Amino acid sequence: MKNIKKLIFGLFLGLTTLSTFAQTKSQNNDIWLHYVGKNMLTKKLSFTLEATMRYANGFSEKQQYFIRPSFDYQFTKHFIGSVGFSHYNTYVYGSPAINKRPIPENHPWIQGTFNHQFGDLKLTNRLRNEFRFVGIASSTVATPTGPSDYVISDYKFRDRLRYMVLATYPLVKVDNKPKLLGIIGDEAFMNIGPLGTDISKNNVGKTFMNQNRIIAGLGYVFNPHHQIQLCYIHQNIWNFSDTIEESNPTVRLSYLTNFSFAKK
C-alpha cells in the first residue's frame, strides 16, 4: 500500500513538474499580402523580387514584412540555382506575444529548385539555406525619467534550412493553356546547429523545427505575365525557447508577374 501511495505521489509530482514547464499554445488568424516578380535578363539569368506584408488576427495587428531580391540561373531544364538576400521585421502580435519588441533580421541565402513535369502535373522541390542574422532584444534599466524598455543590442547568427514540396495542376484549360490551377504542398523550416537557448554559444533554438506550413489553394492565370493565387496556409511556429507554439490559420493572396527583358 505504501508503494502504491509513493507511485501515485511520484506520478502526481511528475505531472505537476511537466505542467510547470508546459508549452503555451496560441492561435492567430492571419492575412498575408504577397508579391513575386520574375524578370528574365537573359535566356538563363533572371532577377526576382519578392515582398510581403503580413497581418495577424485579421488586419488588427501587423505580424511581419519582408523584402527578398534574388538572382536565379537556369542551369538545366530541371534545376535553377539562386542567391539572394532577405530583410525581415517581425512585430509584436498575438497573446502571448513571442517578441517583446519588433525584431529585425537580415540574411543572405542560397537555393536550389528542382522542377519536374509529369503530364499536366508540375512538381517543385525547393531547398534553401538561410544564413540568418537575428536582432537580439535586451531590456534597458528604468530611470527617473522613464521606464525600462527593450532595444536591439546585438545580432546573432542562426543557420536555417527550408525545404518545400509543391504540386501544381491545371484544373481548367482554355485553348489548351492552363487557366485555373490547383496548388498543394508543404514547407518545413529546420534549425541547423547546436540546439539550446544559450545565446553566448550561438545556439539556434531549443527545437529542430522552427516552422511548418501546409499549403493549399487556387491560382488564376490571366496571361503568361500575370497570375493571382489565393491559398490557405496552416502555419506552425516554435519560438526560440520552445515556450510558445503558434498554430495560425492563414489566408495568403499572391500576385505573380513574369516579364522578359532578354534580347531575342
- Structural domain count of the chain: 1
Q: Is residue 158 part of a domain?
A: yes
- Give the mean model confidence (pLDDT) for residues 130-153: 81
Dist CA 220 CA 168 (whole Å): 12
Q: Is residue 25 part of a domain?
A: no
The pTM of this model reads 0.88
Q: Is residue 4 part of a domain?
A: no
How far apart, in Å, are the Cα atoms of 156 and each of 97, 104, 105, 202? 21, 11, 9, 7
Q: Which among 262, 228, 206, 217 has a CA at the least distance from the CA of 21? A: 206
Give the model confidence (pLDDT) of 180-193 as tens digits.
Answer: 999 999 999 999 99
Q: Which among 71, 77, 158 has a CA at the least distance from the CA of 111? A: 71
Give the model confidence (pLDDT) of 54-68 as tens digits.
Answer: 999 999 999 999 999
pLDDT band, very low/low/confident/very high, at 18 (cuts 50, 70, 90)? very low
Please say whether the beta carbons of 35 and 50 come within 8 A: yes
Residues whose CB is less than 8 angstroms from the CB of residue 155 and which lie 6 or more positions away in sequence, other chains included: 106, 133, 134, 135, 136
CATH number, domain containing residue 62: 2.40.128
Using the predicted structure, report yes or no on whether residue 201 has a pLDDT greater than 90: no
Dist CA 212 CA 32 (whole Å): 16
Q: Is residue 152 part of a domain?
A: yes
Q: Is residue 173 part of a domain?
A: yes
Dist CA 79 CA 74 (whole Å): 6
